[in-house]
Amino acid sequence: MSTETNKGLLATLLSLFDIRNVIGSLLAVYGIILLLMGLFGDPEVDKTGGPNANLWAGIVLLVIGAVFIAWGVLRPVVPDAPGAHEEK
C-alpha cells in the first residue's frame, strides 16, 4: 500500500471515530427516542406544567447532535504525514 492510501485510510478512521461524531450520534439517538416518546407517548403535561418535555428535549438533542456531526464533517481531523515532525 502506498503512503497516500495509508493516509487516506487513517484520515477516514480518524474522522469516523472522532469524538464529535460519537457524541453527536449518541445525542441524535437519544433525541430520536425522546422525540418519538413525545409524539406517541403520554405527554404527562400535569408533571411539567404544560409543555411536552419529551418532545422539546428530543428536538433540542437532535439539533445539538446535528451541530456536532456537522462540525465533525466540516472541520475534519487531518493527520500529519508520517515523519513530518522529525527534526533534521
pLDDT in tens, 12-52: 777 778 899 999 999 999 999 999 999 999 888 888 888 99
66 vs 6 pLDDT, higher one: 66
DSSP 1-69: --HHHHHHHHHHHHHHT-HHHHHHHHHHHHHHHHHHHHHHS---HHHHTSS-HHHHHHHHHHHHHHHHH
What's the mean pLDDT in 43-67?
92
The chain-wide mean pLDDT, for the chain, equals 84
How confident is the model at residue 77, as a pLDDT?
Answer: 76
